Amino acid sequence: MKATEILMEEHRVIERVLNSIELAAQRLSSGRTIPVEFFLIAADFIKGFADGCHHKKEEGVLFVALVAHGMSREAGPVAVMLAEHEEGRRLTRAMREGAERMQTGDQTAISQVTQNALGYVRLLRQHIQKENQILFPMADQMIPVEEHQQIAMAFDHVEHEETGAGIHEKYLGLAAVLEKAVMT
């Protein structure tokens, strides 16, 4: 399997969580009760899987390979993706901070949670589309075929050695928890 196919599979998991976050944030902003834990679990998923595993593979492996094959890190697609990763981290931190304030009974934090949650959803949907439709096809063309296996092996190292064995199972479970929470 090509490295870009691995990342696109992970995008599908992230998109499931984005759908759940969007629905929960819309419900919360319309006055419905959503357990604050939902947004804390969502922030954990984002930090641990979307950022801690998926973006780590992109930033530490794929983008490095793209730069090694002539793509600029300071301008163009890689620079845009890195900036969007940082914006996603900012939005996630703000969503978590709002959820923590809600946990203490501060109902004024609802707008902080919903605005940052919905901002994250919008950002990541556009980000995933850019990667799937623009960056990954470029990577498939720029990076020699024989290097794709090395990149996939480096992804495996990130997943099992740097972030810990069982990471996918743990976060697939969290994705299912978040989906189930908004089904009711």
pLDDT of residue 165: 65
Question: In the prediction, which pLDDT does 135 show?
Answer: 95
Over residues 17-61, the pLDDT tens digits come to 999 999 999 999 999 989 999 999 999 999 999 988 899 999 999
Q: How many residues are present in the chain?
A: 184
- pTM for the full model? 0.93
Chain CA centroid to CA 151, Å: 20
- CATH code assigned to 3-183: 1.20.120.520
pLDDT at 57: 94
Summarize pLDDT for 66-110 with one digit per residue, the tens.
999 999 999 999 999 999 999 999 999 999 999 999 999 998 999
Residue 23 makes CB contacts below 8 A (sequence gap 6+) with: 182
* pLDDT tens per residue across span 146-182: 898 899 999 988 887 766 667 778 888 999 999 999 9
CA–CA–CA angle 115, 117, 122 (5° rounding): 90
CA proximity to 143, closest of 81, 79, 78, 82: 78
Q: How many CA atoms lie within 13 A of 162 on its CB side?
A: 17
In whole angstroms, give the CA distance from residue 18 to residue 3: 23
Query: Hey, where are the domains in the chain?
Result: 3-183
Instruction: Measure Cα distances from 163 to 19, 158, 159, 171 in Å.
Output: 25, 6, 5, 12
